[in-house]
Chain A
Amino acid sequence: DTGVSQDPRHKITKRGQNVTFRCDPISEHNRLYWYRQTLGQGPEFLTYFQNEAQLEKSRLLSDRFSAERPKGSFSTLEIQRTEQGDSAMYLCASSEGQPPNYGYTFGSGTRLTVV
């Protein structure tokens, strides 16, 4: 197992375009989380899944954002009509939900730049 994989690592897009990111979690982890990190901030929670069910969405996740986890395996995060304020590092983590770390393993992130 190679850990949590995120693709692409970097994405540059023009304002108004749609982008989609993919996250492949650790195979035995049933929980998957998306976070966003901007400069000078810590990771901010966006949404999480238990298997294929999306259990919580942050108010940061506007209508332009949608996340899916079909079949409880990989997940995608789509941003429609991107804005410059969407520029950030998008982090995915997966978890078994057990201490001491609650199993959080983060991927290396997808850095989005909206120009």
Chain B
Amino acid sequence: DQQVKQNSPSLSVQEGRISILNCDYTNSMFDYFLWYKKYPAEGPTFLISISSIKDKNEDGRFTVFLNKSAKHLSLHIVPSQPGDSAVYFCAAKGGRDDKIIFGKGTRLHILP
């Protein structure tokens, strides 16, 4: 059972434009959401997170939006740069449960 769903396996965006990666979740006990970025042959690295009590968190070019009623979050990258080409994982953590649950990932290609 996929508690964190990323329905787009891949996304291609022109350099300089906005990249929007989407994520849905099913578990209403999740109270913390995270995005990780992964390059080939490396482990995932933390990008940005948001608590369930907020609806937006911004860090430089990266903004995460949370819509709790829709159980949906999105990551916006603007402007997109070539180095942003990677696999992006949406992840969530629930209450006192200490582990993080990951989605399947979306591969982002930034086109020149």
Contact = CB atoms under 8 A, between A and B. Distances in A.
A106 B32 CA distance: 18
Nearest to A93: B43
A42 B99 contact: no
Interface in B52-98: 89, 91, 93, 98
Interface residues of A, number: 27
B16 interface: no
Interface string A82-101: 00000000010100010111
A92 to B, nearest CB: 8
Contacts of A108: 41-43
Q: Is the interface of B mostly helix, strand, loop or mixed?
A: strand
A102 B100 contact: yes
A48 to B, nearest CB: 6
A90 to B, nearest CB: 11
B27 interface: no
* Contact count band on B: 20 to 34
B99 to A, nearest CB: 5
Contact of B43 (A41, A45, A101, A109): A109
Interface of A: 4, 31, 33, 35, 40-45, 48, 50, 55-56, 91, 93, 97, 99-102, 104-109
